Chains A and B, each alone.
Chain A
Amino acid sequence: MTPKFVGMAALSLMLVSGSVLADECSEANALIQTARDAYDAVDARGFAWVPTEAYLTEAKADSAAGACEQAMVNAQRALDTAKAAMVQAENEATAWQSRVPK
């Protein structure tokens, strides 16, 4: 086993593991972006929820630390809460009227 062979093998291993890591986190990053867009949309309607932003912050930190699986979990939580907030915003466009004392 020549030093050249060992060097090539180590480099290959690094490239393979690096690309796997990048692929995993790129999936998480895409989900983070989707959740961010959903959050921005509901925020523009004035109905954003506090936990969504917290989940987004955590997801980004996880992704930056290479904890791609955890990043996916938090990004999904962010997306779920942003979607629920949008349902609330749409419902409350008219539902509030039933609460006004007559």
Chain B
Amino acid sequence: MKHAVTLALFTTLSLSVWAGPEEDRTAFVQFFEKRFPSIALEEHVNGAYALDEDKRKQWEALESGFPPYEDAVFDGEALWDESFANGASYSDCFGDSPAVKQHYPLWDAERGGVVTLELAINNCRESNGEKLLDYTDYAMVALSAYVAFESRGEPIAIEVPDQAALAAYEEGKAFYYQRRGQLNFACSSCHLEMAGNKLRSERLSAALGHVTHWPTYRSKWDEVGPLHKRFMECNDQVKAKAFELQSEEYRNLEYFLSYMSNGLPLNGPTTRK
């Protein structure tokens, strides 16, 4: 009897920890529904501005004028329309419409890894004999800003198609909840457990919807930058050694986080403090 109880407990715990992506997402969404009962789920795509009325007014004023990411979108469109030296273009890799961000990151079974939009842009360039772009290069940021802009309103639709993809998803999930750095913080410490609270003068945003608005113009950076740059910054803030942009660790993390926001509409690029 004692063994049976132990086995039942172990099984229950194991199932809850190793629940599939959809069970994870449901629990994740329910967590935020319970935490912020008066805030519609879709509002979380606006990050901390969904939780702080004063900051939201300032942000809306900035967005309604001449948002500082506009140049990147225009420049990205021009780059997207340019032909490569071999006569091909991005459309040959991504299809006629640039509104594809909702499908990224995706699992590439052939390459055996998670492919983000930025990596897909470089893969496209490589397959057409073009020089790879650095992930902080303005051209890369502009191209991804244009794709994000064209994808506005599209619901995120990330898939975990097989066991190898599931392993990458699980890696990203573990990363999200693992404490790191000398300050001993996990991503979830701030954006799940403490979401909505204030950290000095800043309101901590909810993890739900965190991936919907990238690349983003951050006042702190004084430029438009990618999500992985923010990951690096977060790691650095807790005194953890950051990983490289587009490292496997960050791609898997983006994969997990994007899956958690499945169904939420894209709203990038945008502005953040």
Contact = CB atoms under 8 A, between A and B. Distances in A.
A34 to B, nearest CB: 19
Interface residues of B, number: 27
A100 interface: yes
Provide the main secondary structure of the chain A interface.
helix
A99 B192 CA distance: 9
Interface residues of A, number: 21
B182 A100 contact: no
Contacts of A12: none
B24 interface: yes
Interface in B214-245: 236, 239-241, 243
B182 A49 contact: yes
Contacts of A85: 182
A88 B241 CA distance: 14
Contact of A96 (B27, B31, B179, B240): B179
Contacts of A97: 17, 177
Given A95-B178, A101-B192, 18 more contacts: A48-B240, A48-B241, A49-B240, A50-B239, A50-B240, A53-B241, A81-B182, A85-B182, A88-B180, A95-B179, A96-B174, A96-B186, A97-B177, A99-B186, A100-B24, A101-B27, A101-B28, A101-B31
Interface of B: 16-17, 24, 27-28, 30-31, 173-175, 177-182, 184, 186, 188, 192-193, 236, 239-241, 243, 249
